[in-house]
A and B are shown apart, each in its own frame.
Chain A
Amino acid sequence: MLKLSKYVLYDILRNRVLIAYTAFLLVVSFALFQMEENSSKAVLSLLNIVLIVIPLVSMVFSTIHWYNSYEFIELMLTQPVSRKKVLLSEFAGIGSSLVTAYLVGVGIPVIIYHFDSTGIALLLVGSLLTLAFTAIAFFASIKSRDKARGIGVALLLWFYFALIFDGLLLLVLFAFSDYPLEKFMVTFSSFNPIDLGRIYLMLQMDVSALMGYTGATFKEFFGSGIGLLYTLAIMLAWIVVPLLFALRSFNKKDL
């Protein structure tokens, strides 16, 4: 399986879009760090950009690559290789190349300007988010036979996770503003890896003090070791569960 992943990876790393993505991240990250004297503020701005860009790029890139590789995957499946191996190799290849792009594009500036626990947390969250949305994209692509539909679904999902979900959350908060909702908030945000990532990271920084009572409660939970484990666990679930669904669907699929 490693051999297959290696070949998928090689094919992708030569891909100009990936190089452009890395360059984009590098430029944006460096620019932010140069403009802000306080590197913590820069990390915060960078976080918000990352949380929008990564899910979008991960999903669209994975979806397009999947459909482009379709005939090649067909060829692989005529060899004595199981469907599971082929799928996981593709995932490993695409996922690792996207994570590499992220770690180079954002990681290098972070290491230079703001290498502390927050910086590391940013890199970790970004990488996990990349993999999670790659997995979600895989599931969507396998389900949709048609390339246009697959990309449409990917974009809709991004829209939902990046924007609509938060809108709904605000609605709920507003409607139930008289009730204590801290625990509920934590659970609710687990349903969106972007929100979970954002909350975790913000609580690593000092800005959480601005969030008042809610912030304090959150800080108590997320600031601790349990919070880290919880975040990691849920993020991993967001990677593994879509992947399992994708695998199940792929095993039954006619090619």
Chain B
Amino acid sequence: MIKIENLHKRFKKLQALNNVNVEFSKGQVVSLIGPNGSGKTTLIKSILGLVKPDNGQVLFNGISVDKDIDYRKHIGYMPQIGRYPDNTKIGQIFDMIRNLRGKDTKVDEELFYRFKLDTMLDKSMKSLSGGTRQKVSAALAFLFDADVLILDEPTAGLDPVASEILKEKIIAEKAKGKLILITSHILSDLEELTTHVLYLQDGKVVFNKSMLELYEMTGEDKLSRAIAAVMRNEIKEKDVAYLRIAK
């Protein structure tokens, strides 16, 4: 569904993305992991068209994301920190985005109701707590039943109940065969959800494997331990292995 070819991006002195080549398919839940500054957010922004690459391209169902903006109809994005116009109310935000997407697009309001946002329609965005704003972002991301979901630190800032609701939703969408990309530092949350792991460091792909392969490779059965094992091995090996996902 999403193919990233030879992607390079430099911000002044920092090479944020260095020859990234990956491919994501339907039905995968890809955990995008890496230390701070490894290029995870830049990669996501390149897919969304917020960042224009220096070299290489991002293909969505075979078409370059530069060519046409319609591909974003198939993407639901939840930013790490959602910021909205202060004086606008929750109800208005939802109306506005619905209007933008077309009135006859089908909607999935499960999160909207489960997060009780229908009881807060008249609250202005500036009066909301950070966590509630995250709930709005989450509800918006899932609202249009998009084929691809890109979630940047989705559970950070959510209370435990909301976190569970969101995870359940992700699992439900996964069962529908959607492609879900999640960045998170909370590996225990990712544990139950993920099928594949993409590990970035210094803008390069360190590995891109399925969970099974990762567990086999490291001999661990928990994600956090497996990642730790990889990171430890890395300290021993000077070379970094580039791997492509085998279809």
Contact = CB atoms under 8 A, between A and B. Distances in A.
Interface stretch (A70-78, A154-162, A216-224): A70-78
Interface in B82-96: 82-88, 92, 96
A81 B51 contact: no
Most chain A beta-carbon contacts within 10 A, residue among B69, B72, B81, B82: B69
A7 interface: yes
Contacts of A4: 96, 100
Interface residues of B, number: 29
A243 to B, nearest CB: 20
Contacts of B176: none
Nearest to B88: A11
A74 B79 contact: yes
Contact of B100 (A3, A68, A74, A254): A3
Contact of B97 (A10, A11, A74, A79): A79
B111 interface: no
Interface string A3-19: 11001101100110000
Contacts of A68: 86
A81 B75 contact: no
By secondary structure, the A interface counts as helix
A175 B218 CA distance: 82
Contact of B83 (A14, A72, A82, A253): A72
Contact of B77 (A14, A78, A255): A78
Contact of B69 (A14, A69, A80): A80
Instruction: Pick the most buried of A77, A80, A82: most chain B CB atoms within 10 A of its CB.
Output: A80
A112 to B, nearest CB: 31
Contact of A11 (B73, B75, B81, B86): B86
A68 B96 CA distance: 19
Contacts of A10: 87-88, 92
A3 B96 contact: yes
A15 B87 CA distance: 8
Nearest to A254: B51
A232 B101 CA distance: 38
A77 B49 contact: yes
Nearest to B16: A254
Contacts of A80: 69-73, 100-101
B84 A75 contact: yes
Q: Which 8 A-B pairs have the closest CB atoms?
A: A71-B83, A80-B72, A255-B50, A11-B85, A78-B77, A14-B87, A80-B73, A254-B51
Interface of A: 3-4, 7-8, 10-11, 14-15, 68-72, 74-82, 252-255
Interface of B: 11, 45, 48-52, 69-73, 75, 77, 79, 81-88, 92, 96-97, 99-101
13 contacts: A8-B85, A10-B87, A10-B92, A11-B87, A70-B83, A78-B72, A78-B79, A80-B70, A80-B101, A81-B69, A254-B45, A254-B52, A255-B45
